[in-house]
Structure 1
């Protein structure tokens, strides 16, 4: 959310937007582990980015940064505010040139033999990503507010990868080798529109009616070229090669309407809350795969790897809830949401029967909160949540980038439901704050990527509803302010996933835990200089294994010049080691160890300039201000 408005952005687009916004324009970032009623049914927490409203008049900032890894960003942010109008524009572009390498080692087990399959590769991914955000806010009066937002994003990408495949017999000798080059070029554009109307009560501004309407269109085109050569076990070219092309054109849209009404009542200021949403999305994907016929030099269509389909999903929700102030220190928040989901696939090529699925869900939630004091509180939470598969999990298109590890989606996936139980505690006292959370989730019909061993040593990776799962969670996060110049924060979390004995025996699923630890500091010795740093380690469990990453570190220094209008910064990312990921996958008849390394070591320089003059804060202490005021009064 940005200012409590939903945003339809992926992770990269959100990062580009945040880098385009001046740091001073963000008032705070709220992590809502217990989301408000209108978002309580979504799995996980909700992040709300709250921006500052600014002062009357013109403000603007130009920001640019570039790094040794091949990343760069340029952005301009301007705003103009009057008593009733607030207009903000952010335009920028980002670019990346990201090299890396990877390998995997696989062992295949059969009834009467074993063999191996190794891959070694490298890649270079390049892209340019322009973005534009326009926002107009109009305050007709204290009761009526309007907001219009446009968010546009583009992406031109050019990726190249080279891979060597080696088949190994049971004597650990290579007997078949091939090399493959994959080149991908394409572009993406998206346009998002949002309108928000807020009406506050005339007598009581805590009474709020809000309408949010949104619409978005997106288009992606890409062309992929594959060239593969086959060699003997002694690295001698056999004279056999293969050339293929894949052209993809997909268009999608979504539109929605969200209504929300909150009204306080009674002497204890209880709150009645209700709302409804309707969201529709459509997706058209056309994938054409051709192979080069050597004898004629013509490109021939490969129907087995081509498809053309339409996908539509509609979601309707209606909810009702209440916040009851039982006493000065006890509060009960409860509600229930009814949801209807309908999705449909229509297959043009290959010809197949359409897929239709629809279901109703009733999702209750309840929170009991105890305020021991203004600094210390705790809450017990139960909520039922839903996770629907998206087009990324449902898309049946075959990804042929790696012919020995085929990937495709599953249009028959069911939604994943969960019962979530949490206990949260928060303490803020003086220079420190600390928060803790314990949770248990009963997750039904979990969908996850599953790898299986097919013929000729190939594996297939697709999404499946694998089983139910028990999740046990614990996390602690907090911070300490040593003085006005130095602050530090830290967090640690652990989640343990447990599967049923039947799935573990049949599919070799593995119970496992995911762990992360993070720490950061901020040191400001004076008003012009800031030093900061961050370090994080994470390791994630998977039903077929786990993913382990190394420590990611960031250090930065920032200095202000020209009455704080010019800011220069230097950021050092992963100075000690590049980012590395190890993935271990266990199947019923194979084992894979995969490694991926990306050159994340980066020295980034940033510069920003404030276009308008800043109002300087006084450096006088309260005593000095009081003494100066007394002197003025005496002279007058």
Structure 2
């Protein structure tokens, strides 16, 4: 064998052994007068500030961090809100660093500068990061936190960002697999105490599905030090009815494993009141006024269970298993509606009572594998996901009719049994590689499959009533396959950063209603370009131009072609012919000193899918129909200000001015109806950290939305004022919180639809003013935390 070859193998072997070696770093943490600090947190970061390893000091202030590879790192320490300086270390053998000093707050309160404390609001290239750890919000639930998150607008159970309402919600990057109303139930029953931050992703990376629009990622905290940690928590809310949540968290970290299990039981009872007033027409002349006063009482018990397991096989391979489960074994809805009919010379009425029982199971499983390749920064990853969604609804509707004298004249009773099962599954492979020191490429392929089966049985209907066309026994099957591929390129030069790419998605759908035997087949290919250019002339100025194209496929419950009744003259109808909506978004943003921000934006959407209310003047029915809006265009400007006014006072202000225009077909006449309106939004948030030990926190939030519209519905203005207080106890191992939301009860909507032969309105009154009390007690090792990685599955937002 060639000696040079043997010599090469020998040096390769030696270099491999050396590179595979792991070393330890030891030291001591002391205060300003050289006394040791027990239980301080010590962390090691890469040169680009990525958190790698951590530990806590012993009683004598000493520490040891094991299994560090040869390289250059930063090491720092912290203790109860006080921090050391960063120290750069070159690790090539086991080493002992010089004692690191933390100047404690009590020694020199006015001179301490907390250099590592995160700002409440961070602006990154494609997202806003709202850090809520150690604020008054952490003892509330996640839904309350979203209400107070900058750029996020909450109305009822709907989420909007910059006028968009197709918002994906993720926990640690994994898409929540729930219908819209159940997302509200999940997040309102989930404690925010383990939430590190809320990420509002305004320009989602191309690796994510083109489905939907902007994203909200709820980043949970994760420990770095080995050991066990747990907590118990509870929340009590009082509106018209009481609601409460009781839960516990458990987390274990070993040498190569992370494992957590979280469980919460939520008992919820709430009421919502509606008043519908409809002026029905005959021969284009109003001939009757129908006034319906309805109250819905919803009572449910819900179990939330999440499991997370992380296993580090070696330095090159990392496997994650994750499961999110919501179980609602019993949900009861009691709906009472009284409708008065005023006609010329004659008045009558009818009362409707609905008993609705349902149960739901939603279980999701994820498997992720990341493999780091030889080149630094190069990796390949595989992700897979499966979700099973099962819901059963049993509804009994009883209506009694009265004449003008109030005497009963007839009745109509019918029942509906509905069953829906949905299977979602996908697999994705991603590849990342750097190109030189300032560029990189990312590419991937993905497959997603959806199988939905909806069965309905209805009986007892009065077939003589016009417009009533229930399906006695029907099954609707819907299958969807999505094949996707993407490639993106990022680079930086001089004062510029560029990120651009293209994603392609090919979709095939088949819908089959057994009563007709006709298959509804569709297939289409869509391209989704994305572009972002940042110009940073200096540390205080940042100019960003970005653009993306996205798609919204119809939600699965909106394509079911069945009728569901809210009372005797109000019906909800699905539409299997809904088209996917496509949207273009363009924005230019300028940020000065990370404090002042101005963004000008333009959005153009076609075939937006909405559930609209139409009055059928021939049958005297209110029909809630799912259909496509021809066009939906909006443009405007956002002005925001975010600053730490003092060391204990942080404030955020947002003012938005938006022009919105849309066109839709009137259901009765097929005439094109146009809407146009300027409206504005105002947000104020003030956060305070009080007392010398920073153990008392307060948040005051105010929001105002001027009159606006959505589809054919125009809304009144609303506003809301919320106050939250949080006090930590027992060296921050426990905390209690008090809060009041919507203090003046001004956040309920009034909606109207007045055009052509439509003249109806809806007043909605929810339990928005709530008194809240929360507690949390932590046990075990509570020293070090960091963020989990991000994955997501978009199809699930359409359940």
Q: Distance in 1 between matches of 2:559 and 2:194?
A: 38
Pairing 1:379-390 to 2, within 5 Å after superposition: 379-390=544-555
CA contact (8 A) 2:229 2:782 kept: no
Q: Is 1:38 aligned with 2:207?
A: yes
User: What is the aligned partner in structure 2 of residue 314 from structure 1?
Assistant: 481
Q: Which has the larger displacement, 403-412 or 31-40?
A: 31-40
Q: Distance in 1 between matches of 2:285 and 2:589?
A: 53
Q: TM-score, normalised by structure 2?
A: 0.71
User: What is the aligned partner in structure 1 of residue 244 from structure 2?
Assistant: 72
User: What is the aligned partner in structure 1 of residue 637 from structure 2?
Assistant: 474
User: What is the aligned partner in structure 2 of residue 633 from structure 1?
Assistant: none
- Cα RMSD between the aligned structures? 2.5
Pairing 1:318-397 to 2, within 5 Å after superposition: 318-325=485-492, 327-348=493-514, 350-397=515-562
Q: Distance in 1 between matches of 2:485 and 2:730?
A: 54
1:16-38, CA deviations, whole angstroms, 9 ceiling, x for partnerless residues? 66567664533322211111122
User: What is the aligned partner in structure 2 of residue 145 from structure 1?
Assistant: 318
Q: Which has the larger displacement, 337-346 or 578-587?
A: 578-587
Match of 1:572 among 737, 740, 745: 740
User: What is the aligned partner in structure 2 of residue 88 from structure 1?
Assistant: 260
Q: Distance in 2 between matches of 1:513 and 1:399?
A: 35
CA contact (8 A) 2:663 2:672 kept: no
Q: Distance in 1 between matches of 2:490 and 2:365?
A: 32
Q: Distance in 2 between matches of 1:174 and 1:575?
A: 43
Q: Distance in 2 between matches of 1:441 and 1:118?
A: 38
Match of 2:218 among 31, 38, 49: 49
User: What is the aligned partner in structure 2 of residue 132 from structure 1?
Assistant: 305
- TM-superposed CA distance for 1:11, in Å, is 5.2
User: What is the aligned partner in structure 1 of residue 578 from structure 2?
Assistant: 413
Q: TM-score, normalised by structure 1?
A: 0.88
User: What is the aligned partner in structure 1 of residue 356 from structure 2?
Assistant: 184
Change (3 A) 1:507 1:235: farther
User: What is the aligned partner in structure 2 of residue 602 from structure 1?
Assistant: 770
Change (3 A) 1:411 1:347: same
CA contact (8 A) 2:721 2:743 kept: yes
1:477-520, CA deviations, whole angstroms, 9 ceiling, x for partnerless residues? 33121222111222233442223599899243322345432222
Match of 1:8 among 171, 177, 185: 177
CA contact (8 A) 1:532 1:557 kept: yes
Q: Is 1:520 aligned with 2:685?
A: yes
Q: Distance in 2 between matches of 1:304 and 1:321?
A: 48
Change (3 A) 1:387 1:347: same
User: What is the aligned partner in structure 1 of residue 47 from structure 2?
Assistant: none
CA contact (8 A) 1:20 1:91 kept: no
Uncovered stretches (5+) of structure 2, i.e. residues with no partner:
1-169, 463-467, 785-799
- TM-superposed CA distance for 1:613, in Å, is 5.6
Q: Is 1:255 aligned with 2:255?
A: no
Q: Which has the larger displacement, 274-283 or 105-114?
A: 105-114
Instruction: Name the SS for the 2:646 alignment partner.
Output: coil
CA contact (8 A) 2:629 2:665 kept: no
Larger relative contact order, structure 1 or 2 (CA cutoff 8 Å, min sep 6): 2
Change (3 A) 1:44 1:605: same
User: What is the aligned partner in structure 2 of residue 25 from structure 1?
Assistant: 194
User: What is the aligned partner in structure 2 of residue 553 from structure 1?
Assistant: 721
Q: Distance in 2 between matches of 1:408 and 1:508?
A: 21
Q: Distance in 2 between matches of 1:483 and 1:549?
A: 33
User: What is the aligned partner in structure 2 of residue 287 from structure 1?
Assistant: 456
- TM-superposed CA distance for 1:153, in Å, is 0.4
- TM-superposed CA distance for 1:605, in Å, is 1.2
User: What is the aligned partner in structure 1 of residue 699 from structure 2?
Assistant: 532
CA contact (8 A) 1:477 1:490 kept: yes
Q: Distance in 2 between matches of 1:444 and 1:90?
A: 41
CA contact (8 A) 1:95 1:127 kept: yes
Match of 2:404 among 217, 225, 233: 233
CA contact (8 A) 1:508 1:586 kept: no
Pairing 1:580-619 to 2, within 5 Å after superposition: 580-612=748-780, 614=782
- TM-superposed CA distance for 1:553, in Å, is 2.5
Q: Is 1:223 aligned with 2:394?
A: yes
Q: Which has the larger displacement, 104-113 or 279-288?
A: 104-113
Number of paired residues? 599
Q: Distance in 2 between matches of 1:99 and 1:451?
A: 22
CA contact (8 A) 2:457 2:471 kept: no
Instruction: Name the SS for the 1:392 alignment partner.
Output: helix
User: What is the aligned partner in structure 2 of residue 423 from structure 1?
Assistant: 588
CA contact (8 A) 1:514 1:541 kept: no
